[in-house]
Chain A
């Protein structure tokens, strides 16, 4: 049985609960073990690198030390956590002096033996859209959606090396494998302002509302993401006259297509209820209780 270390990060234990629930359910169904890193810490997100560069590298480095000791590649579903840990890896591999400084702060000796993987990297590069397609029991019936990557998976490309920095395709191909229709659009990697959502809510509202408008213009009925900061920002800050678009995590749609019963528990956690869309698309039985 394949196994990965699992780093949920703080968001997946709070605002991104349905991300955590859907990721763990999907990997159970795929018979891949996820072993949560013991006593992991917060990566520091955007606050650490705003205040101090060394701290912003030492915080993720402590988790890299835990992953190294566990001896398995570590899956980080949160795009922000993934970015911070990839940045620390990148810096550990840059110069001997930089490496010594991070090692001293995080109290470990770095060996480049395990890798930090984004959820989509494992789903696409390791499992693959073809293999996933074969496991689909509930085809998503052409549900029109846009794949939204945001910033932190794809940028800076020399750090994340995730996919094409301007025109990534992996999430769209995964959606296609599930039977959804990934609508082409030009805003897949535009920033939603998630990092500013509490300190500059007006800016975040403008960016999110424009993204939703563009998604609608592209013919999408939902936006699909792999970032809990984007997801909560897109749900909280969508405004304007048009009906708000549901925001799915990619793992939720994988779970739905795999026919997982657990999926029913994910939808009520959303701030924008996706159930009316799922019912109208025939992906959920019509029922009175909502």
Chain B
């Protein structure tokens, strides 16, 4: 089991150190050629853009970064990672930023995404597979965004594309074991020692 104590991370370590450990990347290699931002499909919605995110990591501006909407806007398309001349997997660094923000209990700029991911994984943990009706319904209730996509959602239910009855895995116990073995306890990000497996 990976605990953050095994990540070689201590309380007070720089944001870059913690992200490098999580993502197995070397953010310090970035020399700001801006190639990532030039090809990023969501750069125009971002406030900083991928190359400035990397700069802020290098400058340890963690409060601005962890609370920024940019880290939740990344679509994970990996165009930046494919084109980076220093072979930094920037999308994976974005993932690590999300993970740190969640683990440290930072109030996220985009609560809709956080609720979506939490619901998604809750359903996978307990059913073993995705149930779109459960995901969409619960997400609507939790975010209060009841009307969004109601029309296309209804059409998809009629077309049999959103099954209302969930499929449940036979090996549910195995799924729960898998989750408990791999999910980090949130408390360990602060540097608290976790007992080994």
The judgment on whether A and B are partners is: yes
Nearest chain A CB to B178's CB is how many angstroms away? Answer: 5
- Measured CA separation A194–B77 after assembly (Å): 10
Beyond A44-B121, A156-B78, A271-B152, whether A14 also contacts B73 by CB under 8 A is no
Tell me whether A201 and B181 are in contact (CB under 8 A): no
- Measured CA separation A54–B180 after assembly (Å): 11
Tell me whether B149 and A236 are in contact (CB under 8 A): yes
Within A180-202, which residues are at the interface with B (CB < 8 Å)?
189-191, 193-196, 198-201
Selecting from A104-112, A169-177, A249-257, the interface stretch reads A104-112
For B96, the chain A residues whose CB sits under 8 A away are: 53
Complex partner residue of B178 from A11, A49, A59, A200, CB under 8 angstroms:
A59
B156 adjacent to chain A (CB < 8 Å): yes
Within A98-135, which residues are at the interface with B (CB < 8 Å)?
101, 104-107
Counting chain B CB atoms within 10 Å of each CB, the highest count among A11, A44, A51 belongs to A51
> In the complex, what residue of chain A is closest to B143 when comparing beta carbons?
A199
Per-residue contact bits, chain A 210-229, to B (CB 8 Å; 1 contact, 0 not): 00000000000000000000
Nearest chain A CB to B75's CB is how many angstroms away? Answer: 5
For A62, the chain B residues whose CB sits under 8 A away are: 174-175, 178
- Measured CA separation A151–B40 after assembly (Å): 12
Tell me whether B178 and A191 are in contact (CB under 8 A): no
A58 adjacent to chain B (CB < 8 Å): yes
Tell me whether A236 and B79 are in contact (CB under 8 A): no
A157 adjacent to chain B (CB < 8 Å): yes
What's the dominant secondary structure at chain A's contact region?
helix
B184 adjacent to chain A (CB < 8 Å): yes
Tell me whether B81 and A156 are in contact (CB under 8 A): yes
Tell me whether B1 and A269 are in contact (CB under 8 A): no
> In the complex, what residue of chain A is closest to B40 when comparing beta carbons?
A191
Tell me whether B197 and A55 are in contact (CB under 8 A): no
> In the complex, what residue of chain B is closest to A52 when comparing beta carbons?
B183
Nearest chain A CB to B25's CB is how many angstroms away? Answer: 12
Tell me whether B163 and A54 are in contact (CB under 8 A): no
Nearest chain A CB to B151's CB is how many angstroms away? Answer: 10
Per-residue contact bits, chain A 260-281, to B (CB 8 Å; 1 contact, 0 not): 0000000011010000000000
- Measured CA separation A51–B45 after assembly (Å): 22
For B167, the chain A residues whose CB sits under 8 A away are: 13
Tell me whether A191 and B121 are in contact (CB under 8 A): no
Selecting from B8-16, B26-34, B59-67, B110-118, the interface stretch reads B110-118
Tell me whether A151 and B77 are in contact (CB under 8 A): yes
For A40, the chain B residues whose CB sits under 8 A away are: 129
Tell me whether A191 and B177 are in contact (CB under 8 A): no
A93 adjacent to chain B (CB < 8 Å): no
For B129, the chain A residues whose CB sits under 8 A away are: 10, 13, 40-42
Tell me whether A50 and B117 are in contact (CB under 8 A): yes
A15 adjacent to chain B (CB < 8 Å): yes
- Measured CA separation A45–B159 after assembly (Å): 24
A243 adjacent to chain B (CB < 8 Å): no
Bin the interface of chain A by size: 35 or more
Counting chain B CB atoms within 10 Å of each CB, the highest count among A15, A47, A104 belongs to A47
For B171, the chain A residues whose CB sits under 8 A away are: 39
Tell me whether B178 and A106 are in contact (CB under 8 A): yes
Tell me whether B162 and A15 are in contact (CB under 8 A): yes
For B132, the chain A residues whose CB sits under 8 A away are: 10, 14-15
For B181, the chain A residues whose CB sits under 8 A away are: 58, 104-105
Within B159-185, which residues are at the interface with A (CB < 8 Å)?
159-163, 167, 169-171, 174-175, 177-179, 181-184
A48 adjacent to chain B (CB < 8 Å): yes
Tell me whether A271 and B182 are in contact (CB under 8 A): no
Complex partner residue of A191 from B79, B81, B98, CB under 8 angstroms:
B79
Show the binding face of B for A, using Cβ within 8 Å. Answer: 1-2, 22-23, 41-42, 45, 72-73, 75-79, 81-82, 89, 95-96, 98-99, 102, 110, 112-113, 116-118, 120-121, 124, 128-130, 132, 136, 139, 148-149, 152, 155-156, 159-163, 167, 169-171, 174-175, 177-179, 181-184, 197
Q: A10-B130, A44-B124, A54-B182 are in contact. List 10 more A-B contacts (CB 8 A).
A: A14-B130, A41-B175, A45-B120, A49-B95, A51-B121, A155-B82, A191-B41, A193-B41, A203-B73, A207-B41
Sampled A-B contacts (19; CB under 8 Å): A17-B159, A40-B129, A41-B169, A42-B128, A48-B124, A49-B95, A51-B102, A62-B178, A155-B79, A157-B82, A191-B41, A195-B75, A195-B76, A196-B73, A196-B75, A198-B139, A198-B149, A199-B116, A268-B159
Counting from the closest, the 3 A-B pairs by CB-CB distance are: A191-B77, A155-B78, A10-B130
